[in-house]
Chains A and B, each alone.
Chain A
Amino acid sequence: MSDAVPILKIGTTLLVSIQVDLQDDTALQLQEDVAERITRTGARGVIIDISGLEIVDSFIGRMLASVAAVSRVLDARTVVVGMRPAVAITMVELGLSLGGVRTALDVERGLALLAPEHESAEDVLLAAAEREAR
């Protein structure tokens, strides 16, 4: 397992927070780590926070799409959050579409997307905190 990217568990959701510029082999390793954590923890959702990324090129774009695809097969949903505006503009011009990958503006909205309809992100965080406390 690589320790360049921390994977945290919040309730039944994995939070993958990419805070450093990833080299290609680290990105591939992360893909494996996420799949492994989903099966080990039974997580139902994955949030990938890319607010720390200054660019998303074709390689990272492909990695995000494939994490989402693998998660789906493992019965977990993926939301990519925190994309910077300049990154979004550049990705579109590059021709990169994150087809099939759900996106949200930030972690809180991402959690809300993954939560059952009646739950707010706050409820999810609260429930997770309660579970942790037990």
Chain B
Amino acid sequence: MTTAPVATATATERLEVRADSDVVRVRQLVRAVAQKARLSLVDQTKLVTAASELARNTLVYGGGGDVEVELVTDGRRSGVRAVFSDEGPGIADLDLALTDGWTSGSGLGLGLSGSRRLVEQFSIDTAPGAGTRVEIATWSR
């Protein structure tokens, strides 16, 4: 069994997500931090893609919110942690929301389920009426 690295953050940056242009900014910030963390190009691409999906969900379903991105280290490895938070309606049925192809809107229903596959660590904290908080992390090899 491998235990999750105990992370200490070295720098945190926060972005608001209120418009399409903010989603682009989130992608750029996550890319920059992923490069600092020395992730491989494929891991950078996966992480940025996941961040794009989650930031769009924050905007479209959460009614806007914010994203915190930080460079983390456990002493041996460096990584990127990103937290997407909103105070929207929350997700009533999380299992359903995490099903490939399920969407309550007009999407492909791949954002949540797909981004979970693209990152190393993935967790969601949500409840109806209580907003949604998604945390992801990927570590250098």
Contact indicator A93/B46 (Cβ below 8 Å)? yes
Contact indicator A95/B114 (Cβ below 8 Å)? yes
Contact indicator A94/B42 (Cβ below 8 Å)? no
Contact indicator B24/A90 (Cβ below 8 Å)? no
| Shortest Cβ distance from residue B117 to the other chain A in the assembled complex, whole angstroms | 5
- Interface size class, chain B: 20 to 34
Q: Write out the residue numbers on chain B whose beta carbons fall within 8 Å of the beta carbon of A59.
A: 52, 56, 107
The B-contacting residues of A in range 64-87, CB under 8 angstroms, are 84, 86-87
Is B133's beta carbon under 8 Å from chain A? no
Contact indicator A23/B24 (Cβ below 8 Å)? yes
Q: How far is the CA of A55 from the CA of B23 in the complex (A)?
A: 13
Whose C-beta in chain B lies nearest to the C-beta of A24? B20
Most chain A CB neighbours (cut-off 10 Å) among B52, B100, B117: B52
Q: Write out the residue numbers on chain B whose beta carbons fall within 8 Å of the beta carbon of A21.
A: 24, 27-28
Is B130's beta carbon under 8 Å from chain A? no
Q: Write out the residue numbers on chain B whose beta carbons fall within 8 Å of the beta carbon of A96.
A: 108, 110, 114
Selected from A26, A58, A84, A89, the residue in CB contact (under 8 A) with B114 is A58
Chain B interface main SS type: helix
Contact indicator A86/B45 (Cβ below 8 Å)? yes
Selected from B31, B42, B49, B100, the residue in CB contact (under 8 A) with A57 is B49
Q: How far is the CA of A94 from the CA of B31 in the complex (A)?
A: 18
Q: Write out the residue numbers on chain B whose beta carbons fall within 8 Å of the beta carbon of A90.
A: 42, 45-46, 49, 118
Contact indicator A23/B45 (Cβ below 8 Å)? no
Contact indicator A58/B53 (Cβ below 8 Å)? yes
A and B contact pairs by CB, cutoff 8 A, 9 listed:
A21-B24, A55-B27, A55-B45, A56-B49, A58-B110, A58-B111, A62-B108, A90-B118, A95-B117
Q: A21-B24, A55-B49, A89-B46 are in contact. List 14 more A-B contacts (CB 8 A).
A: A21-B27, A54-B31, A54-B45, A55-B27, A55-B48, A57-B49, A57-B56, A58-B111, A86-B45, A87-B45, A89-B45, A90-B46, A96-B108, A96-B110
